[in-house]
Amino acid sequence: MIKNTNILITGATSGIGEALALYYAEHGATNLFICGRNKQRLADVKQRCEEKGAKVYADIMDVTDSESMRKWIEKSNQTAPLNIVIANAGVSTGEETESNVRNTIQTNVCGVVNTALPTIEAFNNRSSINTHDKHLVLIASIAGYHGLATAPSYSASKAFVKAWGEALHLSLREKRIKVSVVCPGFVRSRITDKNTCPMPFFMEAPQAAKIIADGIAKNKGIIAFPWLLRFSAWLLSCLPNVLSDLIYGKLPHKV
């Protein structure tokens, strides 16, 4: 059970974010702070989490708005000292138009930064909290292991999150702040529901949430799954470009 734990999750209205909110509510989280952009879906997740026993604070938020995110995180932290903050909100790109590319970067990169920086500040300002109770979690993707011609801006945005999170995992250690980076494969969400390409090792969101929560509890720096897809992505990233280009060039397009 995760008792006396206060957890904040962005992008909690579908996919991994929703599944994590429900998982933590079911396993004893005291307070949940969740946000999303869809009022009805957010209200539905809030109700289901409350039915599982958690006290839930739900707000409509745009993670690309840095000032609003800072105020929301500060307010949440004042309400109940945050123990785990999960920067989950993200989008797919679809067609690589200028507006779509900019939206991907603003949401997947700036949205994570807008969540992480106020969290780190809040953790730093709360010296009395136990070491094991300050944990920042960044949701990246297996796509962050190598640039994908089928999803250039999406893979680039997730590569930033992965690299930044790995660096923070080391640099914040001396401040007793834990950092985990999550690199999932294909997990059911509103994003994957739109995909028309093959999705190997496809996983349901509740299963992914349990893997992530277990990894967070064990303070894993990288939580990447499924293992075979992770190994394949890692191996391909180690190959010379002439070989990786040949292999990645044969991948079907992601719509």
Candidate ranges 144-148, 181-185, 227-231; pick with highest mean pLDDT: 181-185
Residue with tokens 């391909």: 236
Percent of the chain with pLDDT over 70: 82
Work out the average pLDDT over 216-225. Answer: 96
Residue 149 lies in a domain: yes
Q: Quick one: which of 106, 190, 91 has its CA closest to 139?
A: 91
Give me the domain span that covers residue 234: 6-248
Here the CATH number for the domain that contains residue 155 is 3.40.50.720
Work out the average pLDDT over 44-49. Answer: 98
Residue 254 lies in a domain: no
pLDDT at 249 over 70: no
Residue 21 lies in a domain: yes
For helices 152-171 and 98-105, give the axis angle rounded to 10 degrees: 20
Round to the nearest angstrom and report the end-to-end CA distance of the chain.
Answer: 40
C-alpha distances (whole Å) from 18 to each of 47, 78, 109, 199 are: 12, 23, 20, 21
For 101-143, how does the pLDDT look when each residue is reduced to its tens digit (9 = 90+)? 999 999 999 999 999 999 999 999 986 555 458 999 999 999 8
Residue 255 lies in a domain: no
- Contact between residue 100 and residue 48 where contact means Cβ atoms under 8 Å apart: no
- Residues 6+ positions from 90 with CB-CB distance below 8 Å: 11, 107, 108, 111, 139, 157, 191
For 56-86, how does the pLDDT look when each residue is reduced to its tens digit (9 = 90+)? 999 999 999 999 999 999 999 999 999 999 9
pLDDT at 193 over 60: no
- Band (255; pLDDT cuts 50, 70, 90): very low
- Contact between residue 125 and residue 110 where contact means Cβ atoms under 8 Å apart: no
Residue 253 lies in a domain: no
Whole-model pTM?
0.88
For 134-148, how does the pLDDT look when each residue is reduced to its tens digit (9 = 90+)? 999 999 999 888 877
> Could you give the 3-state DSSP secondary structure of residue 172?
coil
> Cα separation of 242 and 19, whole Å?
39
Residue 1 lies in a domain: no
Counting Cβ atoms within 10 Å, is residue 39 exposed (0-12), middle (13-18) or buried (19+)?
exposed
Provide the pLDDT for residue 33. 98
Total tally of structural domains belonging to the chain: 1
Backbone angles phi, psi at 105, to 5 degrees: -65, -45
pLDDT at 211 over 80: yes
- Residues 6+ positions from 97 with CB-CB distance below 8 Å: none
Provide the pLDDT for residue 187. 81
